[in-house]
Amino acid sequence: MSPLIARPSEALRGEARVPGDKSISHRALILAALAIGESMIEGLLEGEDVLRTAAAMRALGAETTRLASGRWQVWGRGIGGLVEPEDVLDMGNSGTAARLLMGVLASHPISAILTGDASLRRRPMARVAVPLRAMGAQIVARAGDRLPLAVVGTGEAAPFSYRLPVPSAQVKSAILLAGLNAPGLTTVIEPQPTRDHSELMLRHFGAEITVEDGPEGRAIRLRGQPELRGRPVHVPGDPSSAAFPLVAALILPGSAVRLPGVGVNPLRTGLLTTLKEMGACITLENERTEAGEPVADLHVAAGPLDGVEVPAERAPAMIDEYPILAVAAACARGRTVMRGLSELRVKESDRLAAIAQGLAACGVKVDADADSLTVEGCGGRVPGGATIATALDHRIAMSFLVLGLAAEHPVSIDDASPIDTSFPGFAALMTGLGAAIAPAEPVETVTEDA
C-alpha cells in the first residue's frame, strides 16, 4: 500500500506534459508487431498497462526495444507470423490489453493463456469471447468468461459481421484485429460511435478500412489479410490523463495551466464538451494532426462552474472521465446529472459505486442508481476529511486526490500504486503545478455504503 494525501491548495500555475495516450499506445505496439519491418514509436505511455502489452508482443515473437523515455523501436512479424508464447501472458490490470490480445490471438493458429491481477480477473470477457468464438477461435475460461482463460486460435478465421450489443471500442477493436488474418470483409456495426483509434491506426499502417454511417449505426469494414508496413507513430498526450490537472485548474481559484500536445479526437472530447457547458474556460491552440490523430495544446483557467445534465449518448466519448467530472460537479453550483453510466460498474472497480461512496464520505450530497449519478454541487470547496478506498482503480485514486486539493479538509487515498498503470509521475506533475500532494500514513479506509 502507498497511501497519499491531498491537502487544500492554492492556485495551480505552469505547463505540464501528460503521458502518452494509453489507448493509442496499446494499439501502436500491437499493430507494429503485426506489420512488416521497423516501426518507431514516440511518446509511448510507459505505464504498467502498456508495458504488459509490450511484453506480450515480445512473447509472441516481435522485437520491442526501449531506446529512450517514450521512444520505442518495434520489428514486426507480419500478419499471421506470430509465434506461440512459452509462458502465460499476464495482462496485469489492463482490460484493454487483455481484450485486444484476445482478438489478435483468435485468428492465429497458436494457443495462449491470459491472466491478470485480482481486479482484472473479476472483469467480464464474454463480450469479446462470444464474437471471437463465432469467428472460429476456441476460448476456454472461468465461469462468466473471466480470466484466466485460454485462447486456441484458428488458422482459418471466417469473415464476420457483428453488431455491438453495447458501445465498446475494445470489443470493436478485438474483432477488427481478428479480422486482419481472415479473408474477405470483417464488419462491425456500432449503434453509437466509440473511440476510433483502431480504425485510424489500422489505416496509418496500410490496412483497407472504411467507415460509413447508416440507419443501423456506424459500419466499419476491414478487408482482411493486408500487408501492414512498419510506420512511425507519434502518440499524443492522453486526454483521460489530462483531465486530472485540467479539472484541478478549473476548481482552484486563480489557476492557469497549459497542457501541450493532448489528443483531441472528437470521439474522446465528451469531457471538454461537458465542462464547457458548465462554464469552463478551456481553449485549444495549435491544432494539428499527428499519425492520423487530432492534437492540440489546452489552456485552462479557473472560474465558476454550474451543474448540467449530461446525456446518456455522450457516455462513449467520456466513459473514463466520469470520476473526475464528478469532482468538478461537486465543486460546481447546482445539480449535475449524469446518465448512461452502467458501463462504469464493470471497469477496474465498480466506479459508479466508488464515486458515490467517496463523494458522500467527503460531505457531498450524491445519489446513484444502476445507470445514473446525481451530484449536488457545493458551489466551491467541499468539506473533505475522508480516506478513500481506491479498490485498485487508478482513476478513482487520482480523482479523489484532485478533490482533496479543493476541499476544506485533506482527503487521503489508501493506495496510490494503481496510478502507475496509466499515469506514472502523476503526483510529481501535480506538485510541480503547485498541488499539495504527499505521502500519508496508512489509516482505516472508508467502507460504508453511500
Domains in the chain, please, with CATH?
A: 4-20+236-439 (3.65.10.10), 22-217 (3.65.10.10)
| 117 is a catalytic site residue | no
Catalytic residue chosen out of the listed positions 320, 414, 415, 420: 320
Structure pTM? 0.90
Sequence-ordered list of residues with C-beta below 8 angstroms from that of 360, at least 6 positions apart, any chain: 366, 450
**What is residue 274's three-state secondary structure?**
helix
| pLDDT (tens place) for every residue of the chain, 450 residues total | 789 999 999 999 999 999 999 999 999 999 999 999 999 999 999 999 999 999 999 999 999 999 999 999 999 999 999 999 999 999 999 999 999 999 999 999 999 999 999 989 998 899 999 999 999 999 999 998 999 999 999 988 888 899 999 889 999 999 999 999 999 999 999 999 999 999 999 999 999 999 999 988 999 999 999 999 999 999 999 999 999 999 999 999 999 999 999 999 999 999 999 999 999 999 999 999 987 899 999 999 999 999 999 999 999 899 999 999 999 999 999 999 999 998 888 776 789 999 999 999 999 999 999 899 999 999 999 999 999 999 889 999 999 999 999 999 999 999 999 999 889 999 999 999 999 999 987 655 443 333
Q: Are the beta carbons of 403 and 378 closer than 8 angstroms?
A: no
Phi then psi for 123, rounded to 5 degrees?
A: -85, 145
Handedness of CA 192, 194, 196, 199 (dihedral sign): negative
Residue 9 neighbours by CB distance under 10 Å:
21
Among all chains, which residue has been given the C-alpha cell 504498467? 48
**For helices 95-106 and 48-59, angle between their N-to-C axes, nearest 10 degrees:** 20
Q: Are the beta carbons of 343 and 440 closer than 8 angstroms?
A: no
Q: Using CA atoms, how far apart are residues 263 and 236, in angstroms rounded to an integer? A: 5
